[in-house]
Structures are given as structure tokens and as C-alpha cells.
Amino acid sequence: MRGESNCLEDFVKKEEVKGEWLNGIYNELADLLGMDAAMKIHAAYRGQQVTFPVELYNRSFIRQRIVSEYDGSKNNIKQLATKYGYSEKWIRKILKENIDKLG
């Protein structure tokens, strides 16, 4: 029987599946993203421990945005820190590093 799968997923038609039948996170994913997405995630990652970063965007992108939005004022540093969720100290560090590179 090599190559054949005996998974329950192979015997249940996708159209028949109800969200409440799914385990924990798969039920939540089906509610949030739809049944097809939940089933694709199951197929790709089942049995694995997946951790999502708190931040959606990487620091390189955030650095570029901060540098491009900086207007030279001290008040702007506070605004950028609030907008992007970083400390004013980190914003100043990023600006210094990138202004030094540009200048």
C-alpha cells in the first residue's frame, strides 16, 4: 500500500466539512480565513509547531519607512516612535545610522 494514504482527510469530502468539526486552531483559521485556507494550512503544516512573529513587517522595511518619513524635527521622532511601536531611542539610532550612510 505504499503511496496510498489512509488519512481521514482522504475519506471526507471537503464540501461536507463543517468548521465546528475541526480541532482548535483549525476551527479558528476556518472562521477567519475560510475552510479552504484552513485545510491548506493543515496539509502544509500539520503536526508542526508554528510561531508567528509579533511584528508583521521586517525591520528593514520599518527602517526604510522611518527614514523616509523623518522630517528633521524632534517632535517627528516621537510621532514615528508612536506610529511604529518602537522607542524614541531606537528611532534616533536608526536615523543616525541611516543619515550617516546617506551623508
Verdict on whether the full-model pTM lies above 0.75:
no
The answer to whether position 50 is within a domain reads: no
Residues in the chain: 103
Report CA Rg, the chain.
23
The answer to whether position 39 is within a domain reads yes
Are residues 89 and 65 both part of a single domain? yes
Range of the domain at 16: 8-45
Angle at 95 between CA 99 and CA 57, to 5 degrees: 120
Give the whole-angstrom CA distance, residue 64 versus residue 97: 12
pLDDT band at 79 (very low <50, low <70, confident <90, very high): very high
Q: Establish if 34 belongs to a structural domain.
A: yes
Q: Are 67 and 89 in a shared domain? A: yes
Tens digit of pLDDT for each residue in 50-66? 998 988 899 899 999 99
DSSP string, 58-97: -HHHHHHHHHHH--S-HHHHHHHHHHHT--HHHHHHHHHH
pLDDT in tens, 10-28: 555 566 666 667 878 899 9
Residue 2 pLDDT > 80, yes or no?
no
68 lies in the same domain as 36 = no
Work out how many domains the chain is built from and give that number: 2
